[in-house]
Amino acid sequence: MHVLVTGHTGFKGAWLILLLRALGHEVSGIALDPEPGALFTTAHLQADLKHDVRLDIRDAVALRESCERIAPDAIMHMAAQPLVRRSYAEPRLTVETNVMGTLNLLEAAGAVANLRALIVITTDKVYRNVNQVAGYREQDPLGGDDPYSASKAMADLLSTMWFRCYPGAPAAVARAGNVIGGGDVCQDRLLPDLMQAFAAQRVAAIRYPQAVRPWQHVLDCLSGYCVLLDALAGGRGMGSWNFGPDEGSFQTVATVADLAASLWGPGAAWAAESGTHPHEANLLALDAAAATRELGWQPRLSFEQAVTWTVDWYRAAAQGGDPRTLASDQVRAYLALS
C-alpha cells in the first residue's frame, strides 16, 4: 500500500516512515521542513520516500494539488502544532494549523481517487479532563483547557462530523498518550529535555513532577495506527480509537525522571523548576480496551521497557551511534516481539 503521511518530518513521522517501510508499504510525505537535528534528517529518511513535499497544511490549494498528484492508497494525518506551551504563545497559529489544516486535509482527501483509508491522528488531550483516575474512553466528552488541547478537540470533532456528512474512504480518528522514544528534538518535552541535560552533565529542570501521564513508546503508538490502517483498508475500524499503554504506564513525571536518571548513569540529576507555568493537566490516562478487543492491538513494551529503549537510544547516539541504525534496530526488535 502507498501511504501518505502528513507531518512526516516530525518525531513520530520519522519513526512511522521506518515502521511502514519495514511492514512493506511505500511512503510519501507532506510536511514543513524538519527541526534542526531531527531524526528525519540524521537518519536520512528522505531516501525512503516516494514523494517528499514541503508545504504548510494551512495552504488548502497546495495541499489538495499535492494529494491529487501523490495519489496515495491511504493517508495518515499527523501534521500539527503539537506543543502545549507554544500554543499559549501562538494560539492563532495553533488553531489555524490544527483545525483549518485538518479541514484542508479532509477536503484534499476527498479529491484523491481510489483512496482506501484515512486516519486523522489527534491526542489523549482531546478529552474533557476531570482528573479521573480511570482512563478516558472513546465515548467520553471532549474538551480542552489550553489552546493546544482545545484545537485538537476541535479537529477531532471536525473529523468525526466530516466522516459522517461527507462519506468517502473508510476513515477513523486515532488518539494516543504521551509518546516517548529516541530522536525527539522538540522543546518542552520531558525525555528530550532530560536527555539533553544529562548529556551536558547539568541538572534537568522539571515543571510538574507530580503530573501523571500515560507514557508509551513511539513504536507501540504507531503500531496501533498501522493496525487501524489495515482494518480500514479491509472495510472495518471506522470510528474513534484510543491507543494507550497499560495501567502500569500511568506514572508521574518524577517517576519517569528518576528511572531515566538511573538508566543514564552517574551525573544524571533533575530538580523541580521554580516559578509559575501555564496550565497543564495534572492527571491524564487512556482506556485502550476497545482497540484490544475489536482490533486485536495491544502494547508490546512495558513502562520500564519504553523508558529503557528511549534512554538507550539517546545514550548510544551521544556516544556516536548512527541514528538510522539505532532506530532501525529498535524497529526490528519491536516487530520481533510477540
pLDDT digits (tens, 9 = 90+) for 42-55: 999 999 999 999 99
pLDDT for res 282? 60
pLDDT for res 95? 98
The amino acid at residue 31 is A
Range name among 116-125, 254-263, 280-289 with the lowest pLDDT average: 280-289
pLDDT for res 82? 92
pLDDT for res 208? 85
Going by C-beta distance under 8 Å and a sequence separation of 6 or more, which residues neighbour residue 60?
104, 107, 108
Summarize pLDDT for 33-92 with one digit per residue, the tens: 999 999 999 999 999 999 999 999 999 999 999 999 999 999 999 999 999 999 999 999
Domain holding 308: CATH number?
3.40.50.720
| pLDDT band, residue 132 (cuts 50/70/90) | confident
Distance CA 38, CA 115 (A): 30
Examine the pLDDT at 324 and tell me if it is beyond 80: yes
The angle subtended at Cα 88 by Cα 37 and Cα 278, nearest 5°, is 100
- 73 — phi, psi (to 5°)? -80, -25
Give the pLDDT mean for 277-294.
Answer: 80
Q: In this structure, are residues 169 and 231 in contact, taking their beta carbons and an 8 Å threshold?
A: no
Taking each helix axis as running N to C, give the angle between helix 323-336 and helix 303-318, from 0 to 180 degrees, rounded to the nearest 10: 160
The radius of gyration of the chain from alpha carbons, rounded to an integer in Å, stands at: 19
Q: In this structure, are residues 125 and 144 in contact, taking their beta carbons and an 8 Å threshold?
A: yes
Selection from 198-207, 249-258, 321-330 with the highest mean pLDDT: 321-330
- 161 — phi, psi (to 5°)? -60, -45
- Per-residue three-class SS string for the chain: CEEEEECCCCHHHHHHHHHHHHCCCEEEEEECCCCCCCHHHHCCHHHHCCCEEECCCCCHHHHHHHHHHHCCCEEEECCCCCCHHHHHHCHHHHHHHHHHHHHHHHHHHHCCCCCCEEEEECCHHHECCCCCCCCECCCCCECCCCHHHHHHHHHHHHHHHHHHHCCCCCEEEEEECEEECCCCCCCCCHHHHHHHHHHCCCCEEECCCCCEEEEEEHHHHHHHHHHHHHHHHCCCCCEEEEECCCHHHEEEHHHHHHHHHHHHCCCCCEEECCCCCCCCCCECCECCHHHHHHHCCCCCCCHHHHHHHHHHHHHHHHCCCCHHHHHHHHHHHHHHCC
Neighbouring-strand partners of residue 176:
243
pTM: 0.94
pLDDT for res 157? 98
Examine the pLDDT at 277 and tell me if it is beyond 60: no
The amino acid at residue 43 is A
Distance CA 181, CA 312 (A): 10
* Share above pLDDT 70 across residues of the chain, in percent, rounded to a whole number: 98
Count of C-beta atoms within a 10 Å radius of residue 235: 10
Note the maximum CA span of the chain.
Answer: 57
What domain range is 15 assigned to?
Answer: 2-336
Examine the pLDDT at 150 and tell me if it is beyond 70: yes
pLDDT for res 32? 98
Examine the pLDDT at 22 and tell me if it is beyond 90: yes
| pLDDT band, residue 284 (cuts 50/70/90) | confident
pLDDT for res 285? 82
Examine the pLDDT at 185 and tell me if it is beyond 70: yes
Give me the chain's average pLDDT, please: 94
Q: In this structure, are residues 215 and 260 in contact, taking their beta carbons and an 8 Å threshold?
A: no
Q: In this structure, are residues 162 and 99 in contact, taking their beta carbons and an 8 Å threshold?
A: no
Examine the pLDDT at 225 and tell me if it is beyond 60: yes
Q: Is 7 left (phi over 0), alpha (psi -120 to 50) or beta?
A: left
Give the pLDDT mean for 133-154.
Answer: 94
Examine the pLDDT at 234 and tell me if it is beyond 60: yes
pLDDT for res 103? 98
pLDDT for res 283? 72
pLDDT for res 213? 84
- Nine-digit cell at 216? 508509551
- Nine-digit cell at 323? 541514528
Examine the pLDDT at 281 and tell me if it is beyond 60: no
Nearest to 156 by CA among 195, 116, 128: 128
| pLDDT band, residue 125 (cuts 50/70/90) | very high
pLDDT for res 239? 96
pLDDT for res 134? 83
Number of domains in the chain: 1
pLDDT for res 81? 96
